[in-house]
Structure 1
Amino acid sequence: MTAASRAPERASRPAAHADEPKGAARGDARLYTITELAQEFDVTPRAIRFYEDMGLIAPARAGRNRVYAHRDRTRLKLTLRGKRLGLSLQEIKQLVDMYESPSDTAPQLQAFLGVLAAHRQQLERQREDLEITLDEIAQHEARCRSLLADAERAAAATAGPTPTAARRRPRTTA
């Protein structure tokens, strides 16, 4: 690694905080590398670059390297939270953009509440479908167990003495 390629890394870790763990809160002046964010949020650097391509985050550059400010970290966190909620990238982008625009957010919040309500309805329908399917599976399992028990009882009733019992007969000596 050359001194030039380490420069962004040094810039992202002020000397006063060099011994602090990654991701420690240090205010808005803290810069992060793509590797640090990937490790902190358990995503790949490629995923972070994808979110950048989609306009969800916009890091600065230090030479050829990306450097992420607190704002980018927060946008990534909101993006991943939206993904866990099952939102589309377009819906996530609306959410992330709301984070940035404090003026006149009431219409945006109303629209986003509509998106969340629709998503909630979809998830509730899926949950109902899953519950119905699980009930059907439980019924099939119970029927299979009953048939298996009947078959085992029928086999035991029609079977003669077991081969082990036949071998235990006392031998006669001549």
Structure 2
Amino acid sequence: MAVTYSISDLARELDITTRTIRFYEEQGMLSPERRGQERIYSARDRVALKLILRGKRLGFSLAECRELIELYDPDSGNQKQLNSMLAKIAERRAQLEQQLLDIQQMQLELDTAEERCRAALEMANTTA
């Protein structure tokens, strides 16, 4: 018999709210079975949810997370999914490196502006 999970099981295990899980379900990223009003999540849903949460921590968009979930294929060893993940990681790393350069440039500009303001204040105080 296949392992299944309730919404509260997943919420507790992954330290998220049931509302978060329902949101991802509404987005079509999870597809639990229904028994009346009860949602029954499969091992695949659990893996998908873990991928979404990991992707969000890495800064991936929901669309990127969805793409990775769609590539999930344990029968093939997840080759396509893993290659796609590596490409997304490289892309995210490049974005972060550019942001870091932008921040460093802004810090230099702030330093220059601060020095000019302090020099102007010093000049104003010495002539007053």
Which of 76, 80, 83 aligns to 2:53? It is 80
Cross-structure match for 2:64? 91
Tell me how far apart the structure 2 counterparts of residues 44 and 150 of structure 1 sit (CA, whole Å).
61
Provide the aligned C-alpha RMSD in A. 3.0
Cross-structure match for 1:65? 38
- In the alignment, is residue 41 of structure 1 matched against residue 19 of structure 2? no
Structure 1 unaligned regions, length at least 5? 1-27, 156-174
Length-normalised TM-score, structure 1: 0.57
Equivalent positions of 1:9-48 (< 5 A) are 29=3, 31-34=5-8, 37=11, 40-43=14-17, 45=19, 47-48=20-21
Comparing both structures, which one devotes a greater share of its residues to helix?
2
Structure 2 unaligned regions, length at least 5? none
Identical-residue share of aligned pairs (%): 39
Cross-structure match for 2:88? 115
Cross-structure match for 2:74? 101
- Give the paired residue count: 127
Cross-structure match for 1:56? 29
Tell me how far apart the structure 2 counterparts of residues 56 and 138 of structure 1 sit (CA, whole Å).
46
Q: Is the 8 A contact 2:4 2:40 kept in 1?
A: no
Aligned in 2, Cα 1:154/1:30: closer, same or farther, shift over 3 Å?
farther
Length-normalised TM-score, structure 2: 0.73
Cross-structure match for 1:137? 110
- In the alignment, is residue 149 of structure 1 matched against residue 102 of structure 2? no
Question: Counterpart amino acid of 1:120?
Answer: R
Shift of 1:128: 1.0
Aligned in 2, Cα 1:36/1:99: closer, same or farther, shift over 3 Å?
closer
Query: C-alpha offsets along residues 49-100 of structure 1, whole Å, 9 cap, x if unaligned?
Result: 2311333222232321324455433322220210121212232123234444
**Which structure is richer in relative contact order (CA contacts within 8 A, separation 6 or more)?**
2
Tell me how far apart the structure 1 counterparts of residues 74 and 64 of structure 2 sit (CA, whole Å).
15
Tell me how far apart the structure 2 counterparts of residues 146 and 53 of structure 1 sit (CA, whole Å).
58
- Of structures 1 and 2, the larger Rg is shown by 1
Tell me how far apart the structure 2 counterparts of residues 59 and 133 of structure 1 sit (CA, whole Å).
47
Q: Post-superposition, which runs of at least 4 consecutive aligned residues in structure 1 deviate over 6 A?
A: none
